[in-house]
Amino acid sequence: MSMPFYVSPEQLMKDRADYARKGIARGRSVVVLQYDDGIAFATENASRALHKVSEIYDRIAFAAVGKYNEFENLRVAGVRYADLRGYSYDRVDVTARGLANAYAQTLGTVFTTESKPLEVELVVAEVGHVPDGDQIYRLAYDGSVTDEHGWVVMGGQADRLDSVVSAGWSPGMTLPAVLGLAVAALGTPADEGGTQREIPAAQLEVAVLDRTRPRRTFRRLSGPLLEDLLQA
């Protein structure tokens, strides 16, 4: 009689984590930065149809890296959660923290019970009426949540890009300044001796949560407007 195949729980979790990390690392990075009037999101993405940054609710946005079909399902679930909560209670009851907790439960359950973890990393951000009210939550493939301040870098080359952003970011920066920093970080060479890439505006997906706008604060920046901001 053959012996049953045994894998320790520790090894199983490690293998799942390695699998998820490899899938996420293949994706292009997303940079999220606070600026004086809100929160900005930037990523290299030539597609005009497949978004990595999206609006969830009035003051809340979602950014993701990894497998598109997996994080798109999470985005749709997040919109449903927000709509239902806003309709059942009040629009002010829809918060990034509540959404992050819901995502954490989903990611954690899939990671521990399904045969394959979700190959995604997420940011849920909410813009406050003042900078101190901004909230940025980062969620890993296993459902762990971190409360971030200032900036977040996710995806392939995240450590390398993070060092560029941390060296250049400071509180109260303007939108053109943080977008310039984000694009410089995204163009960082993969190797020490590589050359800095210039990424044209047409190859970028950029959006903001703008606290100066009434109610719906999310807007995408593209075309001549984005070019002007990057040149500024």
pLDDT single digits (tens) 8-25:
889 989 999 999 999 999
Q: What is each CA distance from 40 to 24, 61, 97, 164, 197, in whole angstroms? A: 21, 10, 18, 16, 21
Lowest-confidence segment of 114-123, 145-154, 188-197, 214-223 by average pLDDT: 188-197
**What is the mean pLDDT of the segment spanning 41-57?**
94
Confidence (pLDDT) at 95? 95
Distance CA 56, CA 218 (A): 9
What average pLDDT does the chain have?
93
Instruction: Classify burial at 101, counting beta carbons within 10 Å of its beta carbon; exposed 0-12, middle 13-18, buried 19 or more.
Output: middle
Measured on CA atoms in the order 116, 120, 121, 122, is the torsion positive or negative?
negative
Confidence (pLDDT) at 18? 94
* Residue 53 reports pLDDT greater than 70: yes
* Residue 2 reports pLDDT greater than 70: no
Instruction: Classify burial at 146, counting beta carbons within 10 Å of its beta carbon; exposed 0-12, middle 13-18, buried 19 or more.
Output: exposed
Confidence (pLDDT) at 99? 97
Confidence (pLDDT) at 7? 79
Confidence (pLDDT) at 3? 58
Confidence (pLDDT) at 6? 79
Confidence band (pLDDT; 50, 70, 90) for 4?
Answer: low
- Domain 28-231 CATH superfamily: Aminohydrolase, N-terminal nucleophile (Ntn) domain (3.60.20.10)
Distance CA 215, CA 59 (A): 7
Distance CA 22, CA 106 (A): 20
Instruction: Classify burial at 204, counting beta carbons within 10 Å of its beta carbon; exposed 0-12, middle 13-18, buried 19 or more.
Output: buried
Lowest-confidence segment of 116-125, 146-155, 163-172, 182-191 by average pLDDT: 182-191
Where along the chain do its domains lie? Answer: 28-231
* Residue 214, both tokens: 């009434």
Per the model's pLDDT, the better-predicted residue between 159 and 180 turns out to be 180
Longest dimension (CA), the chain: 73
Confidence (pLDDT) at 232? 81
pLDDT single digits (tens) 109-124:
999 999 899 999 999 9
Per the model's pLDDT, the better-predicted residue between 66 and 48 turns out to be 66
Confidence (pLDDT) at 220? 97
User: In degrees rounded to 5, what are phi and psi of residue 164?
Assistant: -65, -45
